[in-house]
Amino acid sequence: MKIAMFGIKGVPVPAGAENVAEQIGARLAQRGHQVTLYVRPHYTPASLKEHKGMRLVHLPSIPTKNLDAITHSLLACLAATASDAEVVHIHSTGNSVFAGLPRLFGKKTVVQSHGLDWQRAKWGWFARLYLRLSDYSTVHFPDATTAVSQKMTRYYQDMSKRPVTYIPNGIAPSEPCQPGLMHQLGLRGNDYIFLAARFVPEKGIHYLIEAYKQLETDKKLVLAGAGSYGDAYATRLLAHASEKIIFPGFVQGQLFEELISNAAFYVLPSEIEGLSLGLLEAMSYGNCVLVSDIEENLEVVGDSGCTFRAGDVADLRDKLQHLLANPGEVQAYRQRAKNHTRQHFNWEMVTDQFESLYRSIR
């Protein structure tokens, strides 16, 4: 089968829709399918023409906050339509408006929703209106629609009265590694609380900082990540940097693996999610996780992690203090988290579902 994917920044980008496209696309290529990814040159080096068996096609865009994604997706849609692809897999709801054109030329299209993008604070009113309207095209323009959470699946089905397929994200099994590079940050292991996320308001990082400052603990708070497009929110967060609140920036590779392997526990205080790959990754490394009680986080955690009331700083502080005072409980959650992700969030199973979906619409 010949499959084209667009609606991503590029690869390898270890987060979001980009990671999903890479994980699924690479496994499809291993199974003998021809997979093409359309990528942006300012995220993927022009010299990289192939990645994990997938062909990479570099197309330009207008690299501004509101035009980068949409202009690249327009060109990718035209290229995919003119190609010999049999199935066009479109990532993210904002790109669903392009799902109809390939169908006019005999191709089948799938739109994968990673989240209700209009809820995200980074967008202005016009972009938010456009994304809200794209909910219609997400379910009416393609041959098939998928969503990464059960809550989103119900949302689209209730709105459109059309079938939507629930296919979650996956995670590759991970083994913890020993501290090394993290010593440069003054960290030894089990002496910090950790979060890795984009610095945007819906991640609730400001709640975590406020709750942490009310704790009685000698453990540090490590917040890995960065803002986007010079966001003022990220600047406000960074103003809290101190000896105990550490901002190592966007981390990946060995340093990231060390930080996520050796945290006392992992906290995700988000108010909006699709299905958090960061949370899945933290659990796959055997972290005890403390998450806000939004439905999307509860779907991931089940009974294998701790929760607090979303947006409630006092409850977050109390739950943090409880975990700090009960290391035996933390240790029990660690093993449960690892087992839970391996059983329920497996990339091979996710790829099986997409492969079956592609065949069902051909």
- How much is the pTM? 0.81
Is 71 a domain residue? Answer: yes
Q: 250-296, pLDDT tens digit by residue?
A: 998 899 999 999 999 999 999 988 788 889 999 999 999 999 999 99
Residues 7 and 149 in one domain: yes
Query: How many structural domains is the chain composed of?
Result: 2
Which residue type sits at 292? Answer: S
CATH number for the domain harbouring residue 202: 3.40.50.2000
Residues 201 and 315 in one domain: yes
Structure tokens at 243: 């000896």
Task: Decide if 109 contacts 99 (C-beta within 8 A).
Answer: yes
Is 94 a domain residue? Answer: yes
Residues 211 and 226 in one domain: yes
What is the chain's alpha carbon radius of gyration, rounded to the nearest angstrom?
20
Residues 160 and 188 in one domain: no
CB-based contacts of 162: which residues, under 8 Å, 6+ apart?
139, 140, 145, 156
Is 326 a domain residue? Answer: yes
Residues 133 and 14 in one domain: yes
Is 289 a domain residue? Answer: yes
176: preceding bond cis by omega (within 30 degrees): no
Q: Give the model's pLDDT for residue 166.
A: 95
Helical H segments across 1-49, by residue range: 16-30
Residue 213 to residue 245: CA distance in whole angstroms: 9
Q: Give the model's pLDDT for residue 356.
A: 97
Residues 127 and 220 in one domain: no
Q: 42-73, pLDDT tens digit by residue?
A: 889 989 999 999 999 999 999 887 788 899 99
Residues 102 and 242 in one domain: no
Is 232 a domain residue? Answer: yes
Residues 339 and 354 in one domain: no
Is 176 a domain residue? Answer: no
Residues 199 and 321 in one domain: yes
Residues 285 and 230 in one domain: yes
pLDDT block averages, 10 residues each, the chain of length 362: 96 84 97 97 91 97 86 97 98 93 97 74 62 86 95 91 94 89 96 94 96 96 82 92 96 94 97 87 95 94 95 97 95 93 91 97 90
Is 150 a domain residue? Answer: yes
Strand order in the sheet with 192-196: 245-249, 220-224, 192-196, 265-268, 289-292, 306-308
Structure tokens at 48: 């990289």
Q: Calculate what percentage of the chain has a pLDDT beyond 90.
A: 76
Residues 110 and 22 in one domain: yes
Q: Give the model's pLDDT for residue 124.
A: 65
Q: Which domain covers residue 112, as residue numbers?
A: 2-170+346-361
Is 175 a domain residue? Answer: no
Residues 308 and 222 in one domain: yes
Q: Give the model's pLDDT for residue 230.
A: 55
